[in-house]
Copies of this chain bind each other. A is one copy, B any other.
Amino acid sequence: MFVINAQRLRDRMAALSGCGRTVAGGVMRLAYGDADREARALVMTWMREAGLAPHVDFAGNVIAPRAGTDPSRKPLLFGSHVDSVPDGGDYDGPLGTLAAIEAAQVIAEQGLALHHPIEVVVWANEEGGLYGSRAVSGQLPAAELRNVSRSGKTVAEGIAFIGGDPARVHEARRAAGDIAGYLELHIEQGAVLERAGVDIGVVEGIVGLREWTVTITGVANHGGTTPMDQRHDALLAAARFIDMVHRVVRGMPGQQVGTVGRLEASPGAVNAIAGLVVCSLELRDLHDATIDSLYARITDEARRIGDETGTTFEFADLMAAAPAPSDPRLRDAIARAAAALGLSSRVMPSGAGHDAQAMATLGPMGMIFIPSVGGISHSPEEYSTPEAVENGGNVLLGAVLAADEALP
């Protein structure tokens, strides 16, 4: 059984955190910014140390291929990203990226002959909305190149800045069946593994999500002169809506989640009854049917709350992403790799989105989670133990080797 060089992996993670380090101890490595470009250059030097020859594709993704023994095979991809959210942490992205390089380096150092060509990948602008992986999977409409990214650059400008070619982004596209499979190691970003005392999460799939903007219209009025029974209070209606969403989502067995995270009340004065509330609704589950059924129940109940409070509810679609199930052969490869290392594992959904969901449209996809301490992510406090990082790297290496056998 082959294992990674855990010290090398940890050293590289520490070095990578130097790119965009903030005084608060987090990282500010916004996609297409200076720190992002610097991190990508550093990662490419490590790819070369691993015997790989990286290049940047037209969408700005770093791709480092290595030939396999069977020229008829499609490539096996693994990797993650290095861009961060504003004030992000050290693990979200870098773990999967540097563990992928580490796995490739062990394969090279041990002279392991894989049937499949492999490609270590660093996806561009994951945090902004999976731009690099969506370009490759053909899910990036050209109009989105005009979006302004958090770095201040448009996506087109950003792609050029990191060595891609915005005019040729469409050429980065691959077709379904063009890859043999995709594996990604990532921190869980929740506290399920930690609470259960389990070492490794075998991702069952990435949940689908639907998001709505909910507009609740009442009548703004004076909070002193309007008796309680003559109000059309949009904030009271919103309050009952939020509580109801929580009740409905928890009222079904399963791992579905529902969140109202954004809310604005107008006119928003201490002494005025709110006439208008705009809030968000997000539902996530591994199965679209569950989301549909929750949404039907929620809109029904919202109508009742509207009647009760003299307000009206309107739901406008904001975003939707289909669930991306993982491949049973890769789940099995991951679980067996964990077991061979004496690590416990459990099958679980990924509640967060990942580049893996774009790759799932091109071929078999598998994802490995390690515990996040306290479930904290997108924060300078994001942390996973050195042991968990080592476990994750070893499981990724084992899963790549097993996948090379299991996948055609």
Contacts and interface: CB of A to CB of B under 8 A. Distances in A.
Interface of A: 188-192, 195, 207, 209, 211, 221-230, 233, 235-236, 238-243, 246, 249-250, 255, 257-263, 265, 267-274, 280, 282, 284, 318-319, 350-353, 375-378
A190 B152 CA distance: 49
23 contacts: A188-B225, A189-B224, A190-B225, A190-B227, A192-B230, A207-B224, A211-B270, A222-B351, A222-B377, A222-B378, A223-B282, A223-B284, A223-B351, A224-B284, A224-B351, A224-B353, A225-B350, A235-B261, A236-B260, A259-B270, A261-B273, A262-B265, A263-B263
A244 B239 CA distance: 10
A238 B207 CA distance: 28
Which residue, A207, A235, A375, has most C-beta atoms of chain B within 10 A? A235
A261 B223 contact: yes
B223 A235 contact: no
Contacts of A233: 246, 259
> Which 10 pairs between the two chains have the least Cβ-Cβ distance?
A190-B225, A224-B351, A223-B259, A239-B242, A225-B351, A239-B239, A270-B280, A189-B225, A224-B352, A261-B272
Given A228-B257, A235-B263, A236-B242, 4 more contacts: A190-B225, A228-B249, A239-B260, A262-B268
Contacts of A255: 227
A390 B252 CA distance: 62
A157 B239 CA distance: 43
A377 B270 contact: no
A280 B273 CA distance: 11
B243 A243 contact: yes
A280 B235 CA distance: 12
A225 B270 contact: no
Contacts of A246: 228, 233, 236
Given A243-B236, A261-B235, A268-B261, A226 B191 contact: yes
Contacts of A377: 222, 225
